[in-house]
Amino acid sequence: MSHSLHPRPHLLAVATAVPPFLLDQNTVVERIKRLFGRSPELDRLLPVFANSGIGRRYSCVPLEWYDAAHGWADRNGVYLDSALDLLETAARAALRRTHRRPEEIGAIVSVSTTGIATPSLDARLIERIGLRPQVRRLPIFGLGCAGGVIGLSRAAAEAAMAPGETVLFVVVELCALWFRRDDLSKSNIVATALFGDGAAAALLSTDGAGPEIAATGEHTWPGSLAVMGWEVADDGLRSLMSIDIPHLVATRLGDAASGFLARHGLTLDDVDRFVCHPGGAKVVAALERAFALPPGALDDSRRVLRDYGNMSAATVMFLLERLLALGRGNGPDWRCALANALGPGFSAAFLTLENR
């Protein structure tokens, strides 16, 4: 294992939050049929809902909201209000779990790619939750699904450079907000079948109990900008996703992960917990192949996908919340965990935790 000049930060707590409106997958399918009208094209696309591995998700707006047309200003206004509510809920829960006060936080790192906020979300949280005026801020945009792992990595770097300080990491994604009711493209229907809304907060410090964040890293494949991302349209953000993503995960991720681990004196055999962002049912199966895991090894990822959908960057934090619970004697022991997610770039993000 490589050694750093800075002490390693501990992941003290993770807390998650979801908005109030539950979207049952079967109910969503019926609403889609009503909105678009039955057609051979829609009939061809509808099986993606049944094959998604998702039973329910949560939305910051009720299902009826999607019946009407909404432009940029309307959608982004909902984003700002809902994102701040969710982040406040998650941040306060993380503080309660660690018995720490808002004024003890020295830095805040925020991640979101599903709305525009200037001033950024972290600035809007300062007075809302009682952070010090001197708190250091790092807002990050554009990471997509990789944002949970990369953002947590940046928060860990902040904590390592300021020993003893507490760093707050917050992430929120309101993916469902950008459903486009006049777009019968495959990308829009797939996004409608997969994405949900959620948020999370984590506290990190070199001073405190919890697994150590031992190593972080990223890998961006050349010539892959078109694999996933957002396209700006007049009425909002249009999801772009290549059909090749599961194949890319199955064939290329393993080598990238092995290279990352090797740079830190580890191999895949040293990892006894895989914390993988579940982009979708096919992606989870591809992840098992990429890491040479037996079928079912990533059932935690499948359960989060089933119960919450793909919440983009926030999703991996729901898995890390469960991982911390296992470290408190509530499940199988683990010593080394590898967290990973993939996002626009096309990039893979990695983070290892050691449970001593």
Q: What is the pLDDT of residues 326-355, one digit of tens each?
A: 755 555 578 899 999 999 988 999 999 998
Please provide the average confidence, as pLDDT, over all residues in the chain: 91
Which of the following is catalytic: 60, 145, 276, 336? 145
Active site residue 145: yes
**Which residues is 340 bridged to in the sheet?**
276, 350
Tell me the pairing of strands 21-24 and 56-59.
antiparallel
Nearest to 218 by CA among 293, 151, 139: 151
**Residue 327 confidence (pLDDT):** 59
CA distance 152 to 141: 14
Q: Is 340 helix (H, G, I), strand (E, B) or coil?
A: strand
Domains, the chain: 10-205 (3.40.47.10), 212-354 (3.40.47.10)
Read off the pLDDT of residues 245-269 as tens digits, 9 standing for 90 and up. Answer: 888 888 999 999 999 999 999 999 9
Mean pLDDT of 292-306: 92
How many C-beta atoms lie closer than 10 Å to residue 259's C-beta? Answer: 12
Query: What DSSP character marks residue 239?
Result: E
More confident position, 14 or 345: 14
Render 254-268 in DSSP notation, one character per residue: HHHHHHHHHTTT--G
Backbone angles phi, psi at 323, to 5 degrees: -60, -40
pLDDT given for residue 1 in this prediction: 40
Helix or strand holding residue 303 (H, E): helix 299-308
- Which stretches does DSSP call E strand in the chain? 10-17, 21-24, 56-59, 105-111, 136-140, 166-174, 197-205, 212-220, 228-233, 236-241, 273-276, 336-343, 347-354
CA atoms within a 13 Å half-sphere pointing along the CA-CB vector of 220: 13
CA distance 51 to 23: 16
What is the pLDDT averaged over residues 104-125? Answer: 96
The pLDDT score that the predictor gives to residue 189 is 85
**Whether residue 164 has pLDDT greater than 70:** yes
Residue 325 has pLDDT above 90, yes or no: no
Hey, which residues does 201 pair with through a beta bridge? Answer: 15, 170
For residue range 64-107, list pLDDT tens digits in order: 998 888 888 999 999 999 999 999 999 999 999 999 999 999 99
Confidence of residue 42 (pLDDT cuts 50, 70, 90): confident
Query: CB-based burial of residue 13 (10 Å sphere; 0-12 exposed, 13-18 middle, 19+ buried)?
Result: buried
Please tell me the predicted confidence (pLDDT) of residue 236.
72
Confidence of residue 309 (pLDDT cuts 50, 70, 90): very high
Within 10 Å of residue 267's Cβ, how many Cβ atoms?
A: 10
Torsion over CA: 336, 295, 23, 74 (sign): positive
pLDDT at 328: 54
Would you say residue 289 has pLDDT above 70? yes
Q: Residue 3: pLDDT band by 50, 70, 90 thresholds? A: very low
pLDDT at 247: 86
The string of DSSP codes covering 58-105 is EESS-GGGGGS---HHHHHHHHHHHHHHHHHHHHHHHHHHHT--GGGE
Is pLDDT above 50 for 62? yes
Least confident of 66-75, 284-293, 296-305: 66-75
Share of the chain above pLDDT 70, in %: 97
The predicted pLDDT at position 332 comes to 58
**Which tens digits make up the pLDDT trace of 311-324?**
999 999 999 999 99
C-beta separation of 1 from 265 below 8 A: yes
